[in-house]
Structure 1
Amino acid sequence: MSDTGFGDFEFERKFFVHELPSSAAADPTPALIVQAYLFAADGYAVRVRVQGPAPAELPETTGDLVDALGETAFGTMAAKGPAIGGTRYEAERELDGLVAGQIVRRAEHVIAKVRYSLWIDEDGWILDRFLGTNAPLVVAEVERSGPVVDLQIPAFCATEISEDERFKNERLAYQPYGEWAEAYRRELALVGPKFVHSLGENRLSES
């Protein structure tokens, strides 16, 4: 439960990034996240995640990625509801890391990513570089304890995908980005960037 008065809700906005910016790549302690979706339909999902410090060399298979995290990996299980206006119900609870890892390695729908963190102005940002069949996707995300309004959007954010269901993690577990990456890049080049305008003033950085 959150201590912000909002309980089991998360407030975030997400953005498509063409390539990992050097400011994020400089993070000295990126995390490796491997997560399985046991159920996903109509915006509802059940996820089991295992994570820990990212190794220098990243294996290719799910089992080897889980093994690379070692016995100190941190495990969680989360139940999620549909996202509406940058707000989503998410109840997350801790699991034993070894148990979580064994569930993930046996699951069918899995995504893996390396997560980098950095501060921009007053906001903490994370950038996820997806692995495997979801490569070369990079997604930037900012999360707050309340609605993400009046946001300073960094220049590395090519377009907002907060309301694009194709980029939900549970959707990517079933329909990996690598299968439709070229089609999406052509789409983006054609329609141009879009940003959500119902959450206050967007301030776009030039650098």
Structure 2
Amino acid sequence: MSDTGAGDFEFERKFFVRELPAVVAADPSPALIVQAYLFAADGYAVRVRVQGAAPTEMGTAPGELATALGEDSIGTVTTKGPAVGGTRYEAEREIDALVASEIVRRAEHVVAKIRYSVWLGEDGWVVDRFLGGNAPLVLAEVERGGPVVDLEIPAFCATELSDDDRFRNEYLAYQPYAGWAEDYLREFDRRGPAFLDSLGQNQFDGNRPSDRR
């Protein structure tokens, strides 16, 4: 959820990344996020998340990951509505981290990822490297307190996914990326990169055509 005064809405754009960029991997303090989706249908979702500093050594099972976060982790519960044009209703509230961890450990539909943060130009970016059944997926997101317009898009963003529901975390919790990665990559190679042109003027970092959709 945005903490920049927009209330219970988030404004973000999301991008596919072929591999973890070096500028992001240099983040000295990445976070481990493990989140369970208790409900997800038609763009609506209820999520319980536990997150904290990524441990240097960790298992792969969601329960092990949630437990590995330790005492300094943060727990949240979030409700989400359907996304429209890069805007989505999202109400997030903090809950006891131990309770969140125990819910995640018992949940069936779970997403785990390492989150890296970096400041590029005028925006803060997060890049998520997914674990488990969603490996080796890497996604980049930028979020603002209002619509993300006139965005400078880093060269590591291969194509935009802001309107592609397959890459929402709740979809990945039920349909892990590993099961359809080859189909998506063939699709991407066939159609090429595409970026939204309805949110102002895109600016591109690096030599790349400003493909639209």
Same fold (TM over 0.5): yes
C-alpha displacement of 1:4: 5.1
Matches within 5 A, 1:69-88: 69-88=69-88
C-alpha displacement of 1:34: 0.1
Percent pairwise identity: 71
2:21 aligned residue: 21
1:174 aligned residue: 174
C-alpha displacement of 1:5: 5.2
Deviations 1:105-141 (A, max 9, x none): 0000000000000010010000000000000000000
Structure 2: unaligned runs, 5 residues or longer:
208-213
Matches within 5 A, 1:1-207: 6-206=6-206
Structure 1: unaligned runs, 5 residues or longer:
none
* Matches of 2:126 and 2:3, distance apart in 1: 21
2:73–2:97 contact (8 Å) kept in structure 1: yes
Q: Structure 1 residues 188, 3: closer, same or farther in 2, change over 3 A?
A: closer
* Matches of 1:69 and 1:4, distance apart in 2: 27
2:210 aligned residue: none
Aligned residues: 207
Deviations 1:40-84 (A, max 9, x none): 000000000000000112311111101110122100000000000
* Matches of 1:64 and 1:44, distance apart in 2: 28
* Matches of 1:120 and 1:137, distance apart in 2: 21
* Matches of 2:89 and 2:82, distance apart in 1: 7
Look up the equivalent residue of 2:195 and give its one-letter code. Answer: F
Q: Structure 1 residues 70, 2: closer, same or farther in 2, change over 3 A?
A: closer
Q: Structure 1 residues 203, 3: closer, same or farther in 2, change over 3 A?
A: closer
C-alpha displacement of 1:204: 1.0
Quick check: 150-159 or 53-62, which moved more?
53-62
Q: TM-score scaled by structure 2?
A: 0.95
* Matches of 2:182 and 2:3, distance apart in 1: 42
Deviations 1:17-52 (A, max 9, x none): 000000000000000000000000000000000000
Q: Structure 1 residues 114, 71: closer, same or farther in 2, change over 3 A?
A: same
Quick check: 53-62 or 90-99, which moved more?
53-62
2:135–2:178 contact (8 Å) kept in structure 1: yes
* Matches of 2:82 and 2:172, distance apart in 1: 15
